[in-house]
Amino acid sequence: MAIVSLKEVTKIYPLGKTEVHAVNGVSFDIARGDFISIAGPSGSGKSTILNMIGCIDVPTSGTVELNNHITSGLTDREITELRHKFVGFIFQSFNLIPVLNVFENIEFPLLLGKKSIEQKKRKEWTDYLVEEVGLKEWTKHRPNELSGGQRQRVAIARSMATKPELVLADEPTANLDSETSESIIELMKKINKDMNTTFIFSTHDPTIMDLAKHIIKLKDGLVTSEYRREK
């Protein structure tokens, strides 16, 4: 069963008196546990597609299904719940909270849910995540004391805090050098393997794109190719 399914998805943005066709009838399925890149040049529709999968934006026509539920049929409350529990987000600009240290940034999503988690369990799980992303020595440091790659590691750990089934990362390596970029994708791949979390990341970089197991290439809002790499 697909965890994500796009069926003939189109997104048109009004732009003054004209309109922009950002996505033009795109269909694809993503299996649970997949590790997929959505690749394409600037303006090809990568962010628009990720935003529709993450329920940040809605299609103009066609449907996006998460776990076989059509997202446009959900209530606001269901979407909020889904975004909190089912989906994790990673951004190109990291989006960490500057006044919180590494531990606190990673723990933060756990303080937002309706059901409070016992402090001991919260600490254990956060410690595990800090370790998983290799930042044990940096637990008490604030984001401005970290490199870009370390910041993105914090963001990855934070995205995993609520144990989401799906993580969406829009150009997670856009602000990183090529070596750090590869290590960030490898870290996501390790989590994908360890926890069977489905990852979808976008990139315009062919080297980064090729680190995925399943690749969807976009151009002008259309899928130009889709293939899998066995490794």
Ligand X SMILES: Nc1ncnc2c1ncn2[C@@H]1O[C@H](COP(=O)(O)OP(=O)(O)OP(=O)(O)O)[C@@H](O)[C@H]1O
Q: How many angstroms separate the CA atoms of 64 and 71, rounded?
A: 6
144 binds ligand X (CB under 6 A): no
User: Cβ-closest residue to Mg ion?
Assistant: 47
Let me know the angle formed at the C-alpha of 136 by 192 and 180, rounded to the nearest 5 degrees: 55
Partner interacting with residue 122 (select from Mg ion, ligand X, none; CB below 5-8 Å by kind): none
The answer to whether 200 and 36 have CB atoms below 8 angstroms apart is yes
**Pairing verdict, β 61-66 and 18-31:** unpaired
Residue whose CB is less far from ligand X, 41 or 113:
41
74 exposure class (CB count in 10 Å sphere: 0-12, 13-18, 19+): middle
58 binds ligand X (CB under 6 A): no
Q: How many angstroms separate the CA atoms of 228 and 231, rounded?
A: 9
**Minimal distance, residue 145 CB to ligand X, in Å:** 29
Footprint on residues 189-208 left by ligand X (CB under 6 A): 204
- Contact residues toward Mg ion (CB under 5 A) are 46-47
Total of chain residues touching ligand X, rule CB under 6 A: 13
Q: How many angstroms separate the CA atoms of 14 and 30, rounded?
A: 29
Q: Which stretch binds ligand X (CB under 6 A): 42-50, 68-76, 109-117, 134-142?
A: 42-50
22 binds ligand X (CB under 6 A): yes
44 binds ligand X (CB under 6 A): yes
Q: Which stretch binds ligand X (CB under 6 A): 12-20, 77-85, 100-108, 157-165?
A: 12-20
Closest to 201 (Cα-Cα) out of 108, 70, 176, 146:
176
Q: Angle of helix 148-160 relative to helix 119-132, nearest 10 degrees? A: 140
142 binds ligand X (CB under 6 A): no
- Which residue of 8, 20, 31, 210 would you call a contact of ligand X, by CB under 6 A? 20
Q: Which stretch binds ligand X (CB under 6 A): 40-48, 71-79, 136-144, 183-191?
A: 40-48
Partner interacting with residue 42 (select from Mg ion, ligand X, none; CB below 5-8 Å by kind): ligand X
Closest to 96 (Cα-Cα) out of 88, 87, 106, 86:
106
CB atoms within 10 A of CB 27: 12
Partner interacting with residue 62 (select from ligand X, Mg ion, none; CB below 5-8 Å by kind): none
Residue whose CB is less far from ligand X, 21 or 123:
21
| Binding region for ligand X (CB under 6 A) | 13, 15, 20, 22, 40, 42-48, 204
